[in-house]
Amino acid sequence: MQIMWKTESISIDNEVEACYLINKQSPFSVVRTRNNMKRTISTFFSEQYKTIGLVSPASLPDADEVQATVSFLEAHGHRVILGEHALETGTDPYCCSSIEGRVQDLNRMISDSAVDLIYCTRGGYGSAQLLPFLDFELLAKRGLPVLGYSDISAIHLAMLSRRAGIPVVFPMAAGLRKAMEDDATAQYLASGWDVPQNWILSQVSGELRVREPLTGTLIASNLSLLASLCGTPWLPSFEGAILVLEDVGEKLRILDRHLTQLMLCGILSQVKAVVFGHLTDCQTKSGQLHLLRKFSSLTHKPFFHGLPFGHEAPRMILRSGMQCSICAPDGRKRKVSLSI
């Protein structure tokens, strides 16, 4: 498969073509030819998302990487509006701009009728600070997609709680160039967030076998962010949900602390299953599996791992709030299928 940052199209080998499900709801402009599949240069996102609003709700992004993404999107037919404070040094060294500046940028994009999609530049820290001041009522009326992950989980969870907009797990704008260097990630980007998808996962323990399909609302989040919002009015209902989690750079005891928080506040008792993506730089894989097995046993809930979601390649696209199901195909031990 040939993937280049500034080529006019992406061609996919015939063997891979069967893995794609392209329809009018795909966020990319895609055409199918007799011998291959190409993403055309007309637009990067579909034509319904002509104007992209770039904002920095959390930490300060790399200005050169943001400009590279702006140039890329403009070359592919989009108009890009960069938030006034999106590249502004913060009053706190770990945040972009000020709370007021970041709120102003986000609310401006929500209220600007020309903006079709809001794209966050970077995670880090700071998104939760904005929640009391964002216009979720207008976002609900406009139904705008908001793209990002990691710290942006705070905004995504609040969107679900307010039934406002479309929360989409997507590589950050300041990291798009690097994300597209990975072939598998580029394939996920081409598949879109409303196209049916399927992944094979591994169950961490065989004690709780999946005998009947588990169906529920998919809620995706960074684990640390979710734990930090416990006890606030910004979380959605987790009753019957499939909870999807990832994290980065945490010691196992900190992950244990966060999962204990979710258990004690009742979230883990409400969900049907917990699915883990990448736990990047979170000590050893064996230690991670031991931790997940422990909490699966403590909560009597099935835990799974192996979803390409998080801070390392490959990175998938997920629309939080969609219905999904987990089932065990062909009776395979500890192997299940997650379908969206």
Contacts of 304 (CB under 8 A, 6+ apart): 201, 202, 203, 204, 273, 274, 275, 276, 326, 336, 338
224 catalytic residue (yes or no): no
Q: CA–CA separation, 224 vs 248, rounded Å?
A: 9
Q: Given 65, 246, 278, 296, which residue is catalytic?
A: 246
Q: CA–CA separation, 52 vs 118, rounded Å?
A: 6
Element (H, E) at 269: helix 267-270
DSSP 101-162: HHHHHHHHHHH-TT--EEEE---SS-GGGGGGGS-HHHHHHHT-EEEE-GGGHHHHHHHHHH
Cβ contact 337:326 at 8 Å: yes
Q: Which two tokens stand for residue 2?
A: 């040939």
Q: Given 85, 156, 305, 311, which residue is catalytic?
A: 311
Cβ contact 12:20 at 8 Å: yes
Q: Given 127, 150, 224, 296, which residue is catalytic?
A: 150
Identity of residue 23 = N
DSSP state of 12: E
221 catalytic residue (yes or no): no
Closest by Cα among 192, 261, 143 to 45: 192
Helices and strands (DSSP H and E) totals, the chain: 11, 16
23 phi and psi angles, rounded to 5 deg: -145, -175
Cβ contact 16:27 at 8 Å: no
150 catalytic residue (yes or no): yes
Closest by Cα among 47, 131, 117 to 81: 117
The residues that are catalytic are 150, 246, 311
